[in-house]
Structures are given as C-alpha cells and as structure tokens.
Structure 1
C-alpha cells in the first residue's frame, strides 16, 4: 500500500526501514506515503484506481 512514487521519499525510506513495531504508527502519522485511493467494500479492498474491479462488487 506504500506508494514508491510519493513526493516524500525521506519519510517513505524511514517507514520502509523502521522496525516492525514502529511502521504502523509512522504510516498513520504520514499518510501521504500511501497509494490512493484505498476503496473498501466490506471485507474486500483495492488500492489504486481500478473501476473494473469495483463494478464486480455487489
């Protein structure tokens, strides 16, 4: 779900190389590193723009 092309490459690198216990907190504090949109439909989810998948959801 991390966007390798995000503008904030320094923060992205810090998150990628952080210890596992700190990654979630760092992502929540720096949501600009996430690939968007994140679309949820119940237990299903997609990352990125994929309308062809969304059309198959009920």
Structure 2
C-alpha cells in the first residue's frame, strides 16, 4: 500500500474515532453495567462504527 493511501486511511480512522467514539454514551453505559470487556465486545461485534473501523484495519494490514 502506498504511503499516501495509508496516511489517508489512518486519517479517516482518526476522524471516525474522534467524531463517533469519543464520549460515546452507550460505551460508557455498557462499561459501567457490564465492565470494560462487555463494552469492547459490543463495539467490535455490534456497533456499525466498530465494524467500519475493522474494515479500515483490514485494508491497512493488506
């Protein structure tokens, strides 16, 4: 992967995290009720933003 494309993907990931994940009330609630693991599991398996971040991660590793 070219450096420019990689930088663009990383920028998109950072923007998504800053826009959607920072201060996410659902994550905070799940963390409080079920613990950090439950909140993380939700973000990875059920949250649409988490799924999109996983797609970006797969592109970065290829």
TM-score (norm 1): 0.34
Larger % of helix: which? 2
Larger % of strand: which? 1
TM-score (norm 2): 0.33
